[in-house]
Every structure is written in structure tokens, then in C-alpha cells.
């Protein structure tokens, strides 16, 4: 019996359905009945999907539990994850930005000195501020950060944006971009004989 290739993708989030669609475009057929399914077997290849928390995907791949993973570049950057990137998948495009109130006093990077920035990406923000010699306080949040300035919790935010619509809804304007991001296919560093044939035979994309 052929050994299965295991691919880790988002359990919930904007990359979940796009990842399944991408794999389907590579000829892989999956039956995913609901969002509670944690494992889905491929109907026509020795492949299975595991659905895990977005931030956990690099760990599953790093430890060889999953042979491949589909994750945003921003997650790899935030975690300083040093994993082989097979290629960029051309979906899930977004940007990690710093934004501030439209009518406030923060209009440029230097205006952030001695201010508070709310974010779910503290490591990415810390690296960026350090590289630009900006001394600001980082307020780490787990949920939505867009309301932090209006509630007085922070003076600016650092977050992912796709269209800018959410920022606009909360009267925020981008003052600095930290990085552009898109979905990438990452690979476990552990050797597995079927991995090479899987990449060449199934993932027939320009990646």
C-alpha cells in the first residue's frame, strides 16, 4: 500500500477554501463535508489533508507530521520559521501594514516613537520597528485590533489587510507597509521517498 502524503491547511480562515481549490486544480479530489472535519482523504491519490490552526501549520510541517503545508508568508515571517518553500501559490494575497487614525497626529513612521501599537503580530512588528530605530510600545492582542485606537487602547495598529476596506470602516489609514504576503507551499525537512514524485507528478504548477 502506497504511503500517504499529508498536507496541512487552515482549519478556519481565508486560505482554507482557496487551498482546497488549488489542490483540486492539481487533480486532487477531496470530499470535505463540513468545517469540523479535521482529516480528509483524497479520493484519487494517496494523499490526505489535515485541518489545523493557521499558526500551527509550520510546526506540523517542521516536525514531519505533515509533509507539506499551505500557509501565508506572514505566518512564516512572524514565527521566524526556517522551512523549505516549494513555491508561491498566487492566492491569499495581503499585506501586513501599520495604520493610524485618519485625523490623528501619526502620519509617518517617525511619528510612532513613544506611541502604542496594537497587533496580533508582535514579532513582525518588533523586527520592523527595530530595523527602523523606532521606539514604540507593542500592545499584543488576540482578536480584532481595528477598534483599539478608537477605544484608547493604542495609538496605531499593525494588521493584515487585503482590500483596505476594514481599515477604512474604522477610519484608519496605512502609514507603512511591513511586508507583502501570499499563500506558499512549505515542505517538511524530513526525507520521504514519495515526496519528490508527489511534487513532480501531482503539483503541476509553476511553483
If the chain, 207 residues long, is cut into consecutive pieces of 10 residues, what is the mean pLDDT of each piece?
A: 83 92 89 77 90 96 95 97 91 97 95 98 98 97 94 97 94 97 93 68 52
Residues whose CB falls within 8 Å of the CB of residue 202, separated by 6 or more in sequence, listed in order: 26, 27, 28, 45, 47
Q: 98 is written with which cell numbers? A: 501599520
Identify the residue whose cell numbers are 511591513. Answer: 178
- Give Cα 85 distance to the centre of its chain: 13
C-alpha torsion sign, points 89, 175, 81, 166: negative
Containing 203, the helix (H) or strand (E) segment is none
Tell me the C-alpha to C-alpha distance, in Å, between residue 93 and each of 8, 55, 89, 152, 163.
Answer: 19, 17, 10, 30, 10
Determine the pLDDT at residue 190: 83
Determine the pLDDT at residue 204: 57
In the CATH scheme, what is the homologous superfamily, with its name and number, of domain 5-92+182-201? Answer: Periplasmic binding protein-like II (3.40.190.10)
Determine the pLDDT at residue 18: 94
DSSP letter, residue 148:
T
Provide the residue count of the chain. 207
DSSP letter, residue 160:
E
Tell me the C-alpha to C-alpha distance, in Å, between residue 196 and each of 43, 86, 121.
Answer: 20, 11, 34
Q: What are phi and psi of 164, to 5 degrees?
A: 90, 0
Let me know if the fold of 5-92+182-201 is the same as that of 94-181: yes
Determine the pLDDT at residue 207: 42
Domain ranges in the chain?
Answer: 5-92+182-201, 94-181
Q: Which CATH number fits domain 94-181: 3.40.47.10, 3.40.50.2000, 3.40.190.10, 3.40.50.720?
A: 3.40.190.10
Torsion, Cα 164 172 79 127, to 10 degrees, reads 130
DSSP letter, residue 102:
T
Determine the pLDDT at residue 35: 62
Amino acid at each position: 500500500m502506497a504511503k500517504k502524503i499529508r498536507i496541512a491547511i487552515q482549519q478556519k480562515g481565508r486560505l482554507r477554501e482557496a487551498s482546497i481549490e488549488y489542490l483540486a486544480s492539481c487533480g486532487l479530489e477531496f470530499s470535505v463535508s463540513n468545517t469540523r472535519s479535521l482529516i480528509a482523504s483524497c479520493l484519487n491519490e494517496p494523499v490526505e489533508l489535515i485541518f489545523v490552526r493557521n499558526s500551527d501549520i509550520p510546526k506540523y510541517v517542521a516536525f514531519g507530521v505533515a509533509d507539506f503545508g499551505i500557509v501565508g508568508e506572514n505566518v512564516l515571517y512572524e514565527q521566524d520559521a526556517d522551512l523549505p518553500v516549494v513555491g508561491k501559490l498566487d492566492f491569499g494575497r495581503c499585506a501586513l501594514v501599520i495604520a493610524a487614525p485618519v485625523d490623528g497626529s501619526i502620519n509617518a513612521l517617525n511619528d510612532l516613537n513613544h506611541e502604542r501599537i496594537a497587533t496580533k503580530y508582535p514579532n513582525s512588528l518588533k523586527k520592523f520597528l527595530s530595523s527602523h530605530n523606532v521606539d514604540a510600545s507593542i500592545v499584543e492582542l488576540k482578536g480584532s485590533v481595528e477598534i483599539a485606537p478608537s477605544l484608547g487602547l493604542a495609538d496605531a495598529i499593525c494588521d493584515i489587510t487585503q482590500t483596505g476596506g476594514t481599515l477604512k470602516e474604522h477610519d484608519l489609514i496605512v502609514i507603512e507597509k511591513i511586508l507583502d504576503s501570499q499563500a506558499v507551499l512549505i515542505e517538511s525537512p524530513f526525507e520521504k521517498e514519495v515526496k519528490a514524485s508527489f511534487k513532480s507528478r501531482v503539483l503541476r504548477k509553476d511553483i
